[in-house]
Each structure stands twice: as structure tokens, then as C-alpha cells.
Amino acid sequence: MASAASTVRLTARIAGRHASKITSRRGFNTTSYRGAAQNYTMPALSPTMTEGNIASWRVKEGDTFSAGDVLLEIETDKATMDVEAQDDGMVMKIISGDGAKGISVGTRIAVMAEPGDDLSNLEIPAEENKASSRPLDASESAPKKPTVESSGSPGSKNSDAAAQAKADSPQNKGTSAEKPETPRLQHQLSAAVEAILHQNGLSASDASNITGTGPKGRILKGDVLAHLGKINKETPAKLQAHVSKLAHLDLSNIQLNKSPARAPKVEAGKVKSQPAEPVQPVDVEVAIPISLSAVIATQKRVNDTLGIFLPLSTFIARATELANEGLPVNKSAKPTSDDLFNAVLGLDKISTYTRGHFYPHVAGISLPASVGRRKQSQKPDIIDLLTSKKANSRPKSVAQAPLGVSPSANLFSVVAANGEEKRAEEFLARIKLVLEKEPGRLVL
């Protein structure tokens, strides 16, 4: 029974060898095909990875694993990553142990089997990548003399049966006479090309008979289809010629436009005149003479009647407040954001009068001594009258008026920005009117 089982398993392994070639090269699929042990190669963990180091194995020989289990840790030049199993399986043999360095992608690092397989009856398959990629030595290509086996052990019988089955396969029958040795491929086959070869019963060695039209003679998918007769054999070559033509930019038919006429050069010694700098607006001082005689008379009258002394600065400050109210807007002034917003909503029209911010500067002759300090007789207090207390007959001094002004001739001046001369003149005219004609309005 053991011998029959071994023969069936060996036949299944030979038939599935080419079908497992793509998966074994990629290194991610560990499931055996049809009960045969399979090579497990160094996987490519990134598009630019060419080799890696084995940090450690998480499984040992004879251990079983399930899909998703971590098999080993691989170190690259960028990081250390875990490699997980894609299917269930069993570790038959570890070729490259912990700490192995510089293992190229696609190199066999272990041999895997199906769960439940008897590892003692399985053979370790040959490393297919090396067998198909390197040319045979002279000793290997020379015909070997038949040898007589002295012992009939089960292992030797299995190896003879495997060799006989491989020699009797349809692919070897058609190519053994014409190809004594496996040719070396110039470029590694892509996954799409290997899939088409596998679907049509061709091996990687058969790809050496296919002429590649890809970059540097690489075999493309269309080359395989043309070799099989599924498309026109001239199509890949035409496409390659078309792509090669478009890959180079043809500048032979390009005509350069005539350059526009250049401006005449400026002769040496002639320097272009620099544009005049914009004139900065200059503030303007507006002045007007104003008499303070009426204000001083009102000041004396209020002091004599009410006993309250109002300094001239109070009269001037109140006159300034009245004169700044409702000054006409300058024609060149732009409306404010509030005015524009109200105009859009229709709530109010843009006002033509705004409040001014002028404050006059007064220059004149000093006041006479009679105006600078006033004496006031103290009136009897109601408390003194009720208590029969004599009132203090001592005169009460009045605060001194500000110096620098004259009762008759005083010059009121303001500084106005460029374009605001009219507003300044209007302000001074109003303050002149109030101080000279209506000083009584400034008392209350």
C-alpha cells in the first residue's frame, strides 16, 4: 500500500510542477499542489526589493500552520516585516535558517507540504528557479552511462520512477532531441506571461523560443499569443515599432517663429528721465481774527451775578463743540462703510454733513491785570444769618484767567488736511459768530 501511495503522489507532483511554478516563485502560497511538496522562495515584500535577510523562523520543521500564521521574519534595507501564510500547510524542511544574509528574491528558503502528509515518503523537489535559469554544465549535458543499482531500497525506486516519468512527459519528448540543455532567459517572465504559458501547457523553458518585442527583448503577453497563433504574428512587432516611434520626439518639422522687433537700444550717455515722484499732500493752516470782548463782558456779568467764574478756555471749548457740529462734507471725500451699507439697504442716504474734529489754536496779547484776577465780595450766607454770625468781610479771590489772549485782537487758527480747507473755514466762521455775537449760549 505504501508503494502504491508513493507512486500516486509522485505522479501528482510531476503533473502539478509547472502549475505551481508561479506561486512558488512569488513565495506567498504555501499550499501543495495535488499532494506534493513545494518549494517556498524568498518573497518580494516591495517592488524594489532584490534580496533580504532571514531574521528568525517562527515555525520549525514538522510544524503545521494555518492561513494567517506568521512563518518568519525578513529583514530588508528598510524594515523588518512578518511573512504570513496564505493557506494551511506543514514545514517539511528549512533550507535557509535564522540569520541567513543576502538571499535573492525567488531563491528557495524552505520546502512546504500539505497538512497530514507523511514527510518520510515525500521527496524534496529540486530548486526550479536555478535549474531553469542557469545553463547546464558539460558534465550535466553529457550522456550518462547507465548504472546498475545494487540495492532495491524504496528511496531508489522512487527516484528512478520520478526520472522515468519526467523523461516520458509530452514536453520532454518533443524538446529532448532538439534542446539538449535548458536555455537561459535574458529577462524574468512577468506574472501575466507565466499565466498564459501555464494555461496553454508551456513551461518557462519553452519561452526561450519566443521572440520578445518588449524593452531590451523582454517577452510580452502579445508575444506569447502570437507564438500560439491566437493573434497575428506581425501585430506585436507593429505595436513595438509604433511605441518606439512615439517614444522619440521628432523636431525635424518644427519651424521657429520670427522674434519680434526689439526696442531700440538707448545710446550710451543718454539716461532716461526718472518719473517725478508724486507730491505728498501738505496740510494747510487756516486762520481768522476773533475778538473776545463780548466773551469777557459775559464772563464778568456771570461772575458779578452768580458768583461763578468761567475761564475763557471753557467758552472756547464750548464754542468749538458747537462749531464742529454738522460741517459740510468735502466733495472729494469717500463715503464710509456705514454710509455705503445704509445706502444699499435703503435705510438712509449718504449724509452730506459730518462732525468735524478741529480745535483752534489761539494767539494774542496778554490780558490786562484788571481782567486776570477779579475780586468778589462775599455775600452773607443763609446759615450765618440764622445763627446771627457775622459774615466774613474778607474778599474772595477769583481764579486767574489764561494768559496769551487779548480782549480785542486774537488769531484763531486750525490745521486742515489737503482738500479740507472749506470745512476749516466754515468751522472758524461758526466759532467767530458764537464768540463775538452769541457768547451767552456758552454759559448754559
Residue 15 confidence (pLDDT): 41
**Has residue 292 been placed in a domain?**
yes
Percentage of the chain surpassing pLDDT 70? 63
Task: Identify which of 52, 89, 49, 47 has the alpha carbon closest to the alpha carbon of residue 68.
Answer: 89
Q: Which of 96, 113, 130 is the last residue of a domain?
A: 113
Strand order from edge to edge, sheet including 284-290: 284-290, 410-416, 361-364
Residue 381 confidence (pLDDT): 66
Summary mean pLDDT of the chain:
72
Residue 53 confidence (pLDDT): 93
Residue 404 confidence (pLDDT): 55
Residue 440 confidence (pLDDT): 86
The Cα–Cα gap between 100 and 53 comes to 6
User: Cβ neighbours of residue 423 under 8 Å, at least 6 residues apart?
Assistant: 327, 328, 330, 356, 358, 416
Q: Which of 113, 145, 160 is the last residue of a domain?
A: 113
**Has residue 136 been placed in a domain?**
no
Same domain, 300 and 429: yes
Judge contact between 80 and 74, C-beta under 8 A: yes
pTM of the model: 0.32
Q: Which range has the worst mean pLDDT, 37-46, 151-160, 275-284?
A: 151-160
Residue 190 confidence (pLDDT): 79
Mean pLDDT, residues 128-148: 44
Same domain, 318 and 434: yes
**Has residue 388 been placed in a domain?**
no
What CATH number does residue 54 fall under? 2.40.50.100
Amino acid at 350: I
Same domain, 411 and 325: yes
Same domain, 289 and 200: no
pLDDT tens digit string along 17-74? 444 444 444 444 444 444 578 889 999 888 888 899 999 999 998 899 998 899 999 9
Domain ranges, residue 212: 191-246
Check the CA dihedral 32-33-36-37 and report its sign: negative
